[in-house]
Structure 1
């Protein structure tokens, strides 16, 4: 299929390479053009604005930073459905697939606007992080009509091991919020355990080995303990991303009447991290919030 892709960042770039490897034609836009240009060697073609994609692509995939970025890319002056006139001419485009993690309410509003132009919207946030994007093993939780999800699943399978249709538009984003609640709380718990081990004089780096096969064992434990005890690891993302997601979880919980005290505690922890100047630090920087001396110890080793 002829595809457009907006947002070739840490996640988007490997996803685009998988699409190209699967034989799709991919036109790419990014606010920082150099990130899009870096994919030309892999076979991608670069456009100047998102609007340039609608004449070329049957489906446009988004993987951008937040709710405002999605609105700008789709409905801004140079957006897919923006510009002059009533949301613009949709050209060849039939679907928008949003892999970003944004508010479910905003997703439903954007999808309704797109539907007015005859465009199907599938919210399809992902889990698996940069390693999953690189390996092509992401888990995708999808919201939208059954027909749209079925039509687009063969495309998404280029970089996803699993696509689960969770319901109508917005259901994918709500499922991702459930995922982020679990991930953020678990990584915070791992950081506290590492901090406790270090404070007690135990070699925290051996926690994954000691806990292997037990109830505390997990991908997150095995991923983040080395990052919290060693230097030299490539970044997986920033605490700012976790803060954005956990704030959205808290908003959704209030709207739904769900009680989430652990999410509230993690939200305050992330706000403390931002106040400490750690917003742009790697996700493993939870350890630097709960045990500030850990950073100095890692760099001294």
Structure 2
């Protein structure tokens, strides 16, 4: 861990399922972190660990060199930036904003242009994958979109959080990569649920399947991590929320529609999650999609 005095002060907006372990990781790396969350009590664990509470996104920006966001959706990012006491209202402070949320690529480009004109701050879209455990250990996969100067400024912070960090283009490109990620994840979770039900219904040793298929073409992180989670019915506490994955899958289908693409597998997976959430499972773990197959005749 390098000397904290040589590091930028980090603002973090959105202390939730991912924001909490990400903030704790930054604190572990010797960062001074200033935080805000819409529900203040959610920030108690990170404040207890050494983060400094700020009363608004504006106050976070004014106290920070770089602001990180990790909030629910495009509307939430917009509120944090452009709302009353939002980041854009800061009279001084942050020179760069890094958005770890999963939001619309076109909105990202619009927000970046407007923030640059308003405050001169740069923008990097850097959605993440890997879940809370990877966030806590600094091993996230980070897909980023940024201009050259902002990318150089963002890299040291991203290196504290991620093990696989890739710039895939200019602003907005990271969000496109996350759309592709979520297309694979959402479809893969549904496939794992169907594979598990097939194994269980056939009467074989369902728990043996990941080891059995390891190293073959069917092998994957989904098979080695999500399938066993489903097989154990280990859904509590949730590592991700079904309603959030449904939101992301809807974004995938909308983005594909805008490109005039038909993606039948993604559309089916989206419909499966819509049915699951519609049965009241929206706040359950994304892997609980298995219950949709257990509940049907």
> What TM bracket, shorter-length normalisation?
over 0.9
Match of 1:100 in 2: 101
**Runs in 1 of length 4+ with deviation above 6 angstroms?**
none
CA distance in 2, matches of 1:285, 1:206: 20
The alignment's TM-score, normalised by the length of structure 1, stands at 0.92
Match of 1:111 in 2: 112
The one of 200, 207, 210 aligned to 1:208:
210
Alignment of 1:92-241 (within 5 A): 92-117=93-118, 118-232=120-234, 234-241=237-244
Alignment of 1:281-296 (within 5 A): 281-292=284-295
Higher mean Cα deviation, 68-77 or 208-217? Answer: 208-217
Name stretches of at least 5 consecutive residues in structure 1 with no aligned partner.
Answer: 82-87, 295-301
The alignment's TM-score, normalised by the length of structure 2, stands at 0.93
Alignment of 1:48-63 (within 5 A): 48-63=55-70
Higher mean Cα deviation, 231-240 or 112-121? Answer: 231-240
Local SS of the residue matching 1:215? coil
Deviation at 1:276, TM superposition (A): 1.5
Deviation at 1:260, TM superposition (A): 1.2
Answer 1 or 2: which has greater helix percent. 2
Match of 2:5 in 1: none
Higher mean Cα deviation, 231-240 or 35-44? Answer: 231-240
Name stretches of at least 5 consecutive residues in structure 2 with no aligned partner.
Answer: 1-7
Deviation at 1:259, TM superposition (A): 2.7
CA distance in 2, matches of 1:109, 1:32: 27
The one of 70, 79, 87 aligned to 1:72:
79
Q: Work out whether residues 128 and 139 of structure 1, in 8 Å CA contact, stay in contact via their aligned partners in 2.
A: yes
Q: Work out whether residues 10 and 130 of structure 1, in 8 Å CA contact, stay in contact via their aligned partners in 2.
A: yes
Q: Work out whether residues 186 and 270 of structure 2, in 8 Å CA contact, stay in contact via their aligned partners in 1.
A: no
